[in-house]
Amino acid sequence: MMPVISAERLCVSYGDHKVLRDLSLAVEEGRFIGILGPNGCGKTTFLRALSRILEPVSGVVMIEGMDVAAYDTRALARILGCVRQETDVAFPFTVREIVLMGRHPHIGRLAPLGEADLSIADEAMRRTNTLHLADKLITEVSGGERQRVLIARTLAQQPKILLLDEPTSHLDINHQLEILSLIQELTPKITVVGVFHDFNLASYFCDRLILMSAGQIVAAGTPAEVLTAERIQMSFSVRMLVHTHPLTGKPYLVPAYDVAAAPGGVRVHVISGGGSGSELFHLLLLHGCRVTAGVLAANDSDAAAAAALGIEAVVEPPFAAVSDAAVERLRGLLAAADVVVVAGMPVGSGNLANLSVLRDVSVPIYFVGRCGDYAGGAADVLCAELAGCGAVEVVSAADLLRRILL
């Protein structure tokens, strides 16, 4: 199948500065392609070359099998629509007039707009939730509203190919999802190529992703193939945690917010579970503590957080009771600790050993939140026993930090 839009060995320069370097890409009809990459890597330049705004130094852009340079302006506008980053409009047209400008490639040079054109424009405004703004001046609407109006103008153009340069940069999260859902619904009738800065929006809405760096494509494929921690680290110099979204099955990313323990920091062992310790791990490391953790189940989110933060932890298989071997490892970490912190966690018969082993600990013990007793009262008895021996319940993580860092 012939690609609907392609670039072959494309080179683009601004003066002596080469921005795109031998870049080649072929896009099949009906795809939603997302382009990602750090600032200055050439994403917007690439879109401008595809839309003939910039003339390449070498290489060629093909639209439906024909060199883009061979199209006359009106013919190209009937095929290719662009939504750019810039939303400024110099003259005080009404919103409806702005959207109707998208119909000009489809009518004669001096021909009036017909009922069909008005209907198409109204439908574009309805779909972008801007119809209620139709009679307002474009200079009187907000930046986010203006962005949606310009998207409506491009939809009224009824292009076969839609190029988007950060189409949701001025929108709140509600309108981001609304607009991208609308654009996704247009496929496979139209082909979409968009520049994104938000990894997670690109991952969810796009069929395939292109990762650029220094004017070249460094990865192309499905979101799962492109959005790896290694590739993001290489391109953006930031460590991201990559997970699979439980509802969509697509990858989603969160910053690792890397922190490191101070060599001489307070040694804190955290006993937690069910996600109760993750925030404490990060907070303690952020304040220079040396942190250990466990015993944790391997499928517990606290175990994943400890691994991501480089925290030594005692980890057991999922759904298994704490073993004697794990208890011995736990005793070793407790013996090296200056402080023990128990995060409010669910305690059942399987992990009750996490509390009972604390009877032999001589360092300060702090409880952050109450443990949930799912051990027939045994957990409550142990917590009360530890409190009677000097364990302190603190009201917040901030209170804990004040106590252990004094």
| Average pLDDT score over residue span 182-196 | 90
d(CA 182, CA 192): 12
pLDDT at 307 over 90: no
Dihedral over alpha carbons 323, 328, 330, 331 (to 10 degrees): 140
Specify whether the CB–CB gap between 351 and 273 falls below 8 A. Answer: yes
Closest CA to 33 of 159, 153, 161, 177: 161
- For Cα atoms 343, 347, 348, give the angle at the middle one, nearest 5 degrees: 165
d(CA 245, CA 242): 9
Look-up of token digits 């939730």:
129
pTM of the predicted model, to two decimals? 0.72
pLDDT at 101 over 70: yes
* Model pLDDT for residues 330-370, shown as the tens digit of each residue: 999 999 999 999 998 888 888 888 888 999 888 999 999 88
* Helical residues (DSSP H) of 23-140, grouped into ranges: 43-50, 73-79, 95-100, 115-127
How would you classify the pairing of strands 312-316 and 161-165? unpaired
pLDDT, residue 7, reads 92
Residue 132 confidence class, pLDDT cut points 50, 70, 90: very high
* Model pLDDT for residues 210-263, shown as the tens digit of each residue: 999 989 999 999 999 999 988 998 898 888 888 888 888 899 888 876 666 567
pLDDT, residue 194, reads 94
Query: Which whole-number Å values give the CA distances from 344 to 37, 355, 369, 385, in the listed order?
Result: 41, 12, 4, 16
Look-up of token digits 């992703």:
209
d(CA 379, CA 356): 9
164, β-bridge pairs: 83, 194
pLDDT, residue 370, reads 86
- In sequence order, the 6+-apart residues with CB closer than 8 A to the CB of 383 are 355, 367, 370, 371, 391
d(CA 352, CA 271): 11
Specify whether the CB–CB gap between 368 and 342 falls below 8 A. Answer: yes
